[in-house]
Every structure is written in C-alpha cells, then in structure tokens.
Amino acid sequence: MFLQQLINGLVLGSTYALIALGYTMVYGIIELINFAHGEIYMFGAFVGMYLVTVFKVPFVIAFLLAMVLASLLGVTVEFLAYRPLRRSSRLAALISAIGASIFLQNLALLVMGPRPYTFPSPFTPKVYKTSLVTISRVEIIILVISFLLMIGLTFLIQKTKIGKAMRATAQDKDAASLMGINIDLVITVTFAVGSALGAAAGVMVGIYFRTVTPMMGLMPGLKGFVAAVLGGIGSIPGAMLGGLLLGIAEVMGAAYISSQYRDAIAFAILIIVLLFKPAGLIGRFMQEKV
Amino acid sequence: MYRKKFFWVTLLVFGLILAMVTGCTQPETTTPQDGDEPDGPVAGADVVKVGMVGPLTGGAATYGISVRNGAQIAIDEANENEEIPGVTLEFISEDTEGDWSKAANAFSKLIEQNKVDVIVGAVLSSETEAGGPIAMSGKVPTISPSSTATGLTIGNPYLFRNCLSDEVQASQLAEYANVELGFEKFAILYTNNDYGVALKDAFEETAKELAEVVAVEAFMDNDENFKPQLTSIQRKDPEAIFVAGYYTEAAKIAQQALEQGLEVQFFGADGFYSPVLMEIGQDAVEGAIFTAGFHSGDESPVVQNFVNKYRQLFNEEPDMFAAQAYDAARIVIEAMKSKGTSSEQIREGLAEIKDFPGITGNTSIDEEGDTLKDVLILKVEDGVFQRLR
Amino acid sequence: MFSAYYLQIIILVGINIIMATSLNLITGFTGQLSIGHAAFMSIGAYAAALATLKLGLPFFGSLFFGALLAAFFGVLIGVPTLKLKGDYLAIATLGFGEIVRIVFLNLKITGGAVGLRGVPKNTTILWVIVAAILTIFVLNRILKSRVGRALVAVREDETAAESMGINTTYYKILAFGVGAFFAGLGGGLFSHYFQYIHPNSFGFLRSIEHLCMVVLGGLGNIWGSIIGAAALTAIPEFLRASADYRQLFYGAILVLMMRIRPEGIISGKKSRKIPPGKTSAWRGKNKFLKATR
C-alpha cells in the first residue's frame, strides 16, 4: 500500500510541479506572484478539450496548440495587467493579478457555463498490475510528459541564449539591460514559457480526471504556488521538488493520518519545512545588503 | 495638511454611501409604474415578485444555475398560462458566490430593495442558514429547493424546503442495500460539507446496525483526486462503497476505483442525479444505485413537459437541483392560487401544502416546514437511469 | 432612515474597516505581508460565539474574549514565523489560515461542516461604529507614538532599524498581536450579526479580499484602508445591477484601479511624485513596496 500511495503522490505531485514552474519562472524574473496562472492552466485545459472534442484534432496537436494559445494569453495578461505596473509596488501588481484571475475565471464561466465538460481520454485505458502496485497508462504518460517538459525547460534555461538572458535578468535587471539584453522581451518569453507549462498541466489533468470546468484553476493554482514556495521560489529545480513533495505529503497525510485533515497536514508540513529552511528547500537565502 | 486629508476622506465615504442610496433606490421608484402600466397582460395586473438566491459564480455555480433554470421554467409557465388570474410573476435572481455571508446580503437586497413577495432559495445549506433569520424578520416566505441540513427549518415559520431529507434517504438506502441486495461490508466516502456529513452519519448508523462499515474516508468539495482514499478503502476489501457527495465527484470516484481495480457496487444519494454522472463516469458508474426524488424517464406528462422544456431552453439535461427548484417554484405558485399573493398569504399556503403532485413525487409540507416525499431508488443501466423502487 | 439592506451594508463596511485597518498595521506599516487575516477573524468569530453560547458571557465580554484569543494566536503564529521574510512569511500565514479553516470544519464544538447556529443577534450599528472608531483611534495612537515610528522603521529597513537599537522581533510580534486582536474583534461582531457561522466564509479568498482593501486604499495609511474597505464592500453590491456580469466587472475594476492609482487611493507617502531616476515612491528596502524593476 505504501508503494501504491507513493505513486499516487508522484502523479499528483508532477502536475503540481508543472504549475509551480510557471509561478517560479515569473517570480524569478520580476518577483511577481502571478495569481492568474491557475486560470491559464484552466484555459489550456479548455482549449485542449475543445480541439479534441469539437474539431477532432489529434491529441498531440491539440496538446501543442493549447500550449501555444495559453502562452499567447499569458503574454496578453502580462501586457495588460502587469506591464503598466512595473514601476509600482509589488503589492499593486499582486492585486492586479488577483483582478485578472477573477476576470478570466468569470469570463470562462459566462462563455462555457458552469457544468463540467468531459475530456475524453485519447489513450485506450489500460492498467498495469503487479503484486504491489497498479498504475494506469494515463498516469505513466503524465509522469513521462512532465519529466520531458521539465528536462526541456532546464535545457532552455541552461543552454540557450534566451535562457542565459533570463538568468542574467533574474540576477540583476539593470546590469543585464546594460549588457544589451532586451528586458521586455525576456519577460514576455518568460510569461510565454510559464503559461505553456501551465497549459500542459491543464491538459494532462483534464485527460487524467476527464473533466474541465471554469473553476478548475482555483485550488491547483494555490497548490502550485505553495509548491513553488516550498521548493524555494525562483528556483526551477526547487519548483519540481516542491511540487512532488507537496503531492506526496497530501497523499500520505490522507492515507495514514486523516483524510479530513489532508490539506491541513500538507500546510503544516509546509510551515515546518519553512521554519527549518526559511528560503524553501533549494532557495537561496538572500542576506539583506547593508 | 492632516485635517485636509481627513476632510476628503469623510467626504468620499459619505459620497459613496449617498451614491449607494440613490443608486439602489431607483428600481424602487420605477416598480410601481410597472404595475400600473395599462398595456399589461390584464388591465390593472399585479406584479408579484419571486426572488431566487444561490451561487451563480464560484465553485458551486453549477448547482445555483441549475436551480435558477428550474425555477425560471416554472415562473414562465405560470405567466404564459395565466395560472393566477390578473397576476404576472417577476423573477429576480441574486448571486452568493457560494459564501453564506454574501447570501445574507442577497436576501437583504431582495427583501428590502426589490420588495420580493417570496424567495426560492438558497441553494447551499449554509446560505439558507444565514438567510433564514433575514427572511423571518422581513416576513418573506422562503422555500429552499436543496438545503438539506438537519433541523434547518425548525423555529422559523417563514422557512420551508422541498428536498429529500438526508437521514431518510441514507437510512432507507442502507436498509435496501442490506436487506434487498444482501450487501454486508460497506465503505463510506463522503464530502466534508453539511450534505456529505449528514448522509454519512445516517448511512453509517443504519449500516452498522444491519451490517458492517469497514472504512470511512473524507474528501473536500471540488476535489479531483481520490486515489489515496480509494487505496485505503481497497485494503479493507468492502463489497460496496457509499459515496455521500455530488455527481461530478461521484463519477470521478467510480472512474478512479475502476482504474485501480477496485470493483465494488456503488451506492449514492440524490446528489448523483445528473446526466453528467454518466458523461464523466461512463462505464465506471454502470450499475450504481442511488436514492432520488426525480426520474426523467417517468412517463407522466408533467415530468416529460419539464424535461423537454429544459432541453429546449438550456440545451442540456436537467439535474436534481433543477427538478427540485422547478417543484419549489410550482409549490409557491400553488400556494398563491390557494391563499393569495401577499407574503403572508403565500406563507399560509405553503404551510398547508398536502400531496402536491410534483415532478419530484408527491410532496407534503409538515408543521416544521420540512417536506415529506417518496424516496425513489434508481440504478444506472446502459447509461440511463432506471427505477428500481 | 435607511432600509435594513443599507444598514446591513453599513455594518459590513464597519466590520471591514476594522479588518482592513488592522491588516494595514501588519502589512502597510510594519511591512509584513499576511494572507491569513481571515483566520484571526474566524478565531474571533467562533470564540466570541461560543463564549456567548457555552459560557454565557455578556456580549461585550465575548467580543473581548474572541479578540484576546485571536491576539494569542497572532502572537503564536508570529513568534516562529518571524524568521521568515517576504513571500515565505506570506505563504506561512496563508498556510496557517487554511489550517485554522480546516480545523473549524472538523471540530465538534464549532458545529463542523454544518456550521454554528443560534448565535444571538447582538451586533447593532452602534456597536460597530463604536468598535470601528475605537480601532481607528487605538491604531492612530500607536502609530503616532514611538512604537509606530519603530514599526515604520522595521518596514523601511530592518537592518538599519536593528542597528539603531530597535528590537525588530518584538515590534513584529507586537504588530501581529495587535492586528490579530482587532481582526478577532471584527470576527466577533461578524458572528453576532449573522447569527450563524460556517468556516467556508473564512477561506483564503476572504484574506485576499482584506489585502485588496488595504492595497487599494493605500498601504501605510489608515484613512486609505477605510476608503478601501468601504469601496470593496459597496462595489460588489452596486454591481448586483449587472447581474451575471458582476464578478467579471469586479475583476476588471481591480485591474483598472491599480492601473490608475498603483499607490492606492491615498498613498502612505507624503510626496506622491516619483522623482526622476527613482523607480518607486518607496525608498526603503522593503521587498513588497519596492518596484518590480
């Protein structure tokens, strides 16, 4: 049973990790908690579902298109709601992000209605059973795609020119700009990539749980943010680790302690971790400069 | 400097309050004119206002919007057929966002600003709990189509409801499952809200008397992942699982149980009743047995009339919320027909409803404002609901 | 003069003024971002309601009891989490808020998921006005004193404040305790007004709403919080006229308001013009008040 619960936790955690990556990337560059990220995730799921069910697009293409369209939405939100506030306090940008989140959620509710839509699974359901664990094909696919996307992102950030620019911008915006890096472009790319990852998570959760609703971004959005902080916000490997740990903590809490207190246990673990590692698991603890 | 700022702040606050008063009183002054309009359907027609309160946005929006749709059909029918001579019904709905304290605002607004004569609502039990005292002090009768909390209507002569009692349906189902179907080992999976907890308590009590309950696990509203709970339940090896929750979660639970190789009989309550259950659950919910107050396969003309209209207007199948809201509004109209259209008359009429032939079965209202209804038992067979009892 | 509906809105405005000004003490003046203010409110609400129902305390007594218990938890959460900075503190308060909500959802004595019924209706407009004025008065006295200047010093530059001999830990705990005390007071008024409480209303969305009031009104300005509280309580009620588009407009209004006045309706800083060369009106080192670039 323990091994089975561990797998349950890993699958849940890998979706949290993908959402957390979107938060952490944006945060790393402009130190903004992008509250509308949960809604981008929801949007991605809707696009994927719509393309598959209405336009009968093959799943792989629908998946990629959802990522592209979601990154366009992410960039639009950045342009309309965050860019004008770049010279204002971070809290002002946070409130603007909350407003954007409420707006997008209710726009989806008005356009799509409140009833859950079914996202038909593109894979023939198959369950692999051993004496210890059972795992379904969808779960394996989710784990594989998540890890591929995370490896791809690491490559993008470590090995490409734009990745280098991102790292430079995260370190010191003014110096980066003096070195000829187009900061606006870097921010736009960051939002695009983060939103694409969020949409990927949305589509995968959509096929896993087979439903898409306008409200689906609310809780995963919050959990993704928590996962990002748990790992150390701003750190890419931290977001992955944080997501996986949060998923496992939730599942283990529900399984071995109490399913009533599941979320409370997850948050208690978060607070305890933060007390011992005040900047998250992999975060750098920044000593204030005098 | 400081004084000046204080002055501006005070001015702004008063300005806001003033704007609110003037802004909101406008509809009040226009309504009497509406009533006096000579070109109304009947000369000197009265407008009777029916309010509706429920979550139209937020996580519970799907239930609130179903309730609004169901009640809307009943109101439109009454107006079309001029069921109450010389009276036009006006329908006003207010959003609660699923938050009971905002439900209190919605109740207040409908009663004080719109001067509604009767309210259909609220939807969630917590909303009705918060709205009940306001309805009582405003002397506006209120009938909830779906708030199942135990003892909700006690001590409030203005509060009624039209839904199956959680205790009655859960204990009847437990008895049916054990006595008629012979199940001996149950597990319970419940939503941690008022609805789920009440069902769980009642089912557990009866099931423990008759048979065995091997596992009880909880989940939260709008959860998607039930694997941890199901894995725990699987280890206890039950014969049947009673899911105390709504259709979206129930379908996902059945789905995930199947994936995990947990092949058991599923039982549920009236929260299962929606076509969405089969849409999401597909093969996994096949054979699920649950209690309900409504069955769209019923041949009776009233049921077919409602189902057809709902499909036409809203382009989807009605669920349990819509059916109960339709009946709640029909019961209000019935009360108006028997006693009159003032709030006090509607209240008297509601209190005397006996054997009302609704689409959710024969309905009587008892002295506490609670309903007595027949409990149907339905089963999913070949993707449609079939009546077992 | 007013119908019961306006009276209700005015009472809610009053309670929200207490919530927003007390949060402003923590976030606006001391610079500690808290997304768990609703938790203190719910502790006050439940404690006051239970004090009335189970202990039979008079209304004033139970309000005070609720506020004290909330302050106790404010200090309790304040002590261990003060090591945390910026967003880590914010997420810890958010976690604390969710834990409190889930505990109330599962406890027997609070009615659990069914909620707590039958709280007597003791809150009147007079109580709310008195409580709001008292809150504003006390907070103003604190802010105008040595303590207030110390709090602002903590916000502006913790290291500098420390080196000037200010015990930053003490002042942060003080801010959390006092803020939580008044949040608990607001909660007590809340439960004795609605006669019913359920944990649903004290989730993180409510904490976010309080934060919006503070930022919209203007960080570090008590009068700003009053306006922010009044505006964000009244606007959703105004928007009832727009029926189904209500929440859509609400979201858009938040974005637009921040765009028009990013420093809030009344800025906490004396000079509102951003001098050339400076990136923000805030000169201190506080992470939240600093510009993003």
Nearest to A20 by CA among A223, A207, A187: A223
Chain C residues whose beta carbon lies within 8 Å of the beta carbon of residue A278:
83-85, 88
**Contact state of C288 with A96 under an 8 Å Cβ cutoff:** no
| Two tokens, residue A32 | 């903004």
A280 pLDDT more than 60? yes
Give the model's pLDDT for residue B39. Answer: 41
Q: How far is A221 from chain C (nearest CA, A)?
A: 12
HEC readout, A86-123: CCCEHHHHHHHHHHHHHHHHHHHHHHHCCCCEECCCCC
B102 pLDDT more than 80? yes
What integer is the mean pLDDT of A231-241?
A: 87
| Two tokens, residue A195 | 């939103």
| Segment holding B214, helix H or strand E | strand B212-219
- The domain spans of chain B are 45-164+302-373, 166-292
Question: C109: exposed, middle or buried (C-beta count within 10 Å: 0-12, 13-18, 19+)?
Answer: exposed
Paired strand residues for B365: B371
pLDDT of A252-278, one tens digit each? 988 888 888 888 988 998 888 888 888
Q: Quick check: C248 contacting A, CB < 8 Å? A: yes
Residue at C214: amino acid letter: V
What integer is the mean pLDDT of A236-260?
A: 90
pLDDT of C234-262, one tens digit each? 999 888 888 788 889 999 999 998 888 88
Q: In whole angstroms, what separates CA C160 from the centre of its chain?
A: 27
Nearest to A262 by CA among B236, B193, B217: B217
Q: What are the start-end ranges of the E strands in A132-276?
A: 134-136, 211-212
Chain B residues whose beta carbon lies within 8 Å of the beta carbon of residue C112:
197
What integer is the mean pLDDT of A156-173?
A: 89
B40 pLDDT more than 50? no
Question: B14: exposed, middle or buried (C-beta count within 10 Å: 0-12, 13-18, 19+)?
Answer: exposed
A285 pLDDT more than 70? no
CATH number at residue A170: 1.10.3470
ipTM reported for the complex, 2 dp: 0.87
Q: How many CB pairs under 8 A join B and C?
A: 109
- Measured CA to CA, the distance from residue C140 to residue C55 in angstroms comes to 33
Whether residue A229 is contained in a domain is answered as yes
- Measured CA to CA, the distance from residue B286 to residue A192 in angstroms comes to 42
Nearest to B193 by CA among B121, B293, B281, B98: B98
Q: Quick check: C236 contacting A, CB < 8 Å? A: no
Chain C residues whose beta carbon lies within 8 Å of the beta carbon of residue A259:
none
- Measured CA to CA, the distance from residue A6 to residue C204 in angstroms comes to 29
Q: How far is A152 from chain C (nearest CA, A)?
A: 28
pLDDT of C92-123, one tens digit each? 899 999 999 999 999 988 888 888 988 999 99
- Find the Cα–Cα–Cα–Cα dihedral A244, A249, A250, A252, rounded to 10°: 120
What integer is the mean pLDDT of B30-42?
A: 40
Give the model's pLDDT for residue B367. Answer: 86
Q: How far is A149 from chain B (nearest CA, A)?
A: 22
What integer is the mean pLDDT of A90-103?
A: 90
Q: Which residue is closest to A210 within chain B, CA to CA?
A: B280
B132 pLDDT more than 50? yes
Among candidates C9, C112, C246 on the partner chain, residue whose Cβ is nearest the Cβ of B20: C9
Counting residues of chain A whose pLDDT is more than 70, the rounded percentage is: 97
Q: Quick check: B150 contacting C, CB < 8 Å? A: yes
A159 pLDDT more than 60? yes
- Measured CA to CA, the distance from residue A172 to residue C127 in angstroms comes to 52
Give the model's pLDDT for residue B36. Answer: 40
Chain B residues whose beta carbon lies within 8 Å of the beta carbon of residue C120:
none
Give the model's pLDDT for residue A51. Answer: 93
Give the model's pLDDT for residue A45. Answer: 95
What integer is the mean pLDDT of A17-40?
A: 88
Tell which CATH classification among 3.40.50.300, 3.40.50.1370, 3.30.1200.10, 3.40.50.2300 matches the domain B45-164+302-373: 3.40.50.2300
Give the model's pLDDT for residue C275. Answer: 46
What integer is the mean pLDDT of B337-363?
A: 89
Q: Quick check: A32 contacting C, CB < 8 Å? A: yes
DSSP state of B156: -
Q: How far is A259 from chain C (nearest CA, A)?
A: 11
Chain B residues whose beta carbon lies within 8 Å of the beta carbon of residue A209:
224-225, 252
Q: Quick check: C161 contacting A, CB < 8 Å? A: no
Q: Quick check: C209 contacting A, CB < 8 Å? A: no
- Measured CA to CA, the distance from residue A56 to residue A58 in angstroms comes to 6
Give the model's pLDDT for residue C284. Answer: 53
Q: What are phi and psi of B267, to 5 degrees?
A: -120, 155
Strand, coil or helix: C22: helix
> Which pLDDT band, with edges at 50, 70 and 90, does B375 fall under?
confident
**Contact state of B228 with A5 under an 8 Å Cβ cutoff:** yes
Q: What are phi and psi of B192, to 5 degrees?
A: -85, 65
Q: How many domains would you assign to chain A?
A: 1
* Mean pLDDT of all residues belonging to chain C: 87
The lowest-confidence range among A82-96, B82-96, C3-17 is A82-96
Q: What does B84-97 look like in DSSP terms, one character per residue? A: STTEEEEEEEEE-T
**Contact state of B235 with A129 under an 8 Å Cβ cutoff:** no
Q: Which residue is closest to C103 within chain B, CA to CA?
A: B192
Contact in structure between A176 and A168 (CB atoms under 8 Å): yes
Give the model's pLDDT for residue C287. Answer: 59
**Contact state of C112 with B197 under an 8 Å Cβ cutoff:** yes
Q: Quick check: B216 contacting C, CB < 8 Å? A: no
Whether residue A200 is contained in a domain is answered as yes
A212 pLDDT more than 70? yes
Q: Which chains touch B (3 or more CB pairs under 8 A)?
A: A, C
The dihedral built from the CA positions of residue C25, C28, C34 and C39, taken in this order, carries a sign that is: positive
Whether residue A219 is contained in a domain is answered as yes
- Measured CA to CA, the distance from residue C89 to residue C173 in angstroms comes to 13
Q: How far is C137 from chain A (nearest CA, A)?
A: 26
Q: Which of C155, C255, C261 to probe the A interface (max A CBs under 10 A)?
A: C255
- Measured CA to CA, the distance from residue B382 to residue B385 in angstroms comes to 8
Q: Quick check: B204 contacting C, CB < 8 Å? A: no
**Contact state of B16 with C2 under an 8 Å Cβ cutoff:** no
Among candidates B64, B220, B231 on the partner chain, residue whose Cβ is nearest the Cβ of A8: B231
> Which pLDDT band, with edges at 50, 70 and 90, does C164 fall under?
confident
Whether residue A289 is contained in a domain is answered as no
**Contact state of C2 with B21 under an 8 Å Cβ cutoff:** yes
Domain B166-292, CATH 3.40.50.2300 — does that match?
yes
What integer is the mean pLDDT of A45-57?
A: 92
**Contact state of C4 with B108 under an 8 Å Cβ cutoff:** yes
From the CA atom positions of chain C, what is the Rg in Å? 19
pLDDT of A117-146, one tens digit each? 988 878 777 888 877 788 888 888 888 998
| Two tokens, residue B306 | 């409602």
B125 pLDDT more than 60? yes
Q: Quick check: A183 contacting C, CB < 8 Å? A: yes
Which parts of B115-156 fold into alpha helices (H)? 125-137
**Contact state of C115 with B194 under an 8 Å Cβ cutoff:** yes
Chain B residues whose beta carbon lies within 8 Å of the beta carbon of residue C226:
9, 13
Give the model's pLDDT for residue A289. Answer: 42
Nearest to B56 by CA among B101, B20, B106: B106
Residues 250-269 of A with CB under 8 A from C: 260-261, 263-264, 267-268
**Contact state of C5 with B113 under an 8 Å Cβ cutoff:** yes
Q: Quick check: B108 contacting C, CB < 8 Å? A: yes
Q: Which of B217, B231, B234, B317 to probe the A interface (max A CBs under 10 A)?
A: B231
Strand, coil or helix: C161: helix
B21 pLDDT more than 80? no
> Which pLDDT band, with edges at 50, 70 and 90, does B73 fall under?
very high
- Measured CA to CA, the distance from residue B340 to residue A194 in angstroms comes to 61
Among candidates B57, B220, B279 on the partner chain, residue whose Cβ is nearest the Cβ of A263: B220
- Measured CA to CA, the distance from residue B88 to residue B79 in angstroms comes to 6
Question: C261: exposed, middle or buried (C-beta count within 10 Å: 0-12, 13-18, 19+)?
Answer: middle
In sequence order, the 6+-apart residues with CB closer than 8 A to the CB of A164 are none
pLDDT of B242-252, one tens digit each? 999 999 899 99
Chain B residues whose beta carbon lies within 8 Å of the beta carbon of residue A109:
57, 61
What integer is the mean pLDDT of A88-111?
A: 90
B17 pLDDT more than 80? no
Give the model's pLDDT for residue B105. Answer: 92
Chain C residues whose beta carbon lies within 8 Å of the beta carbon of residue B20:
6, 9, 234, 237-238
Paired strand residues for B160: B143
Q: Which residue is closest to A260 within chain B, CA to CA?
A: B218
- Measured CA to CA, the distance from residue A194 to residue A225 in angstroms comes to 13
Q: How many CB pairs under 8 A join A and B?
A: 87
Interstrand relation of B118-121 and B159-161 (parallel, antiparallel or unpaired)? unpaired
Chain B residues whose beta carbon lies within 8 Å of the beta carbon of residue C231:
16
Q: Convert A23-52 to b/e letters by CB count within 10 Å (16 or more is b).
A: bbbbbbbbbbbbbbbbbbbbbbbbbbbbbb
* Mean pLDDT of all residues belonging to chain B: 85
The residue segments making up the domain with residue A193 are 2-276
Q: What does B286-320 look like in DSSP terms, one character per residue? A: TT-EEEES--TT--SHHHHHHHHHHHHHHSS---H
Q: Which of C108, C137, C144, C194 to probe the B interface (max B CBs under 10 A)?
A: C194
Nearest to C7 by CA among B52, B137, A211: B137
Q: Which of A101, A119, A262 to probe the B interface (max B CBs under 10 A)?
A: A262
What integer is the mean pLDDT of B73-94?
A: 91
Give the model's pLDDT for residue A4. Answer: 87
What integer is the mean pLDDT of A14-32?
A: 87
**Contact state of A210 with B255 under an 8 Å Cβ cutoff:** yes
Strand, coil or helix: B188: strand
Q: What are phi and psi of A120, to 5 degrees?
A: -65, 135
Contact in structure between B99 and A151 (CB atoms under 8 Å): no
> Which pLDDT band, with edges at 50, 70 and 90, does B59 fall under?
confident
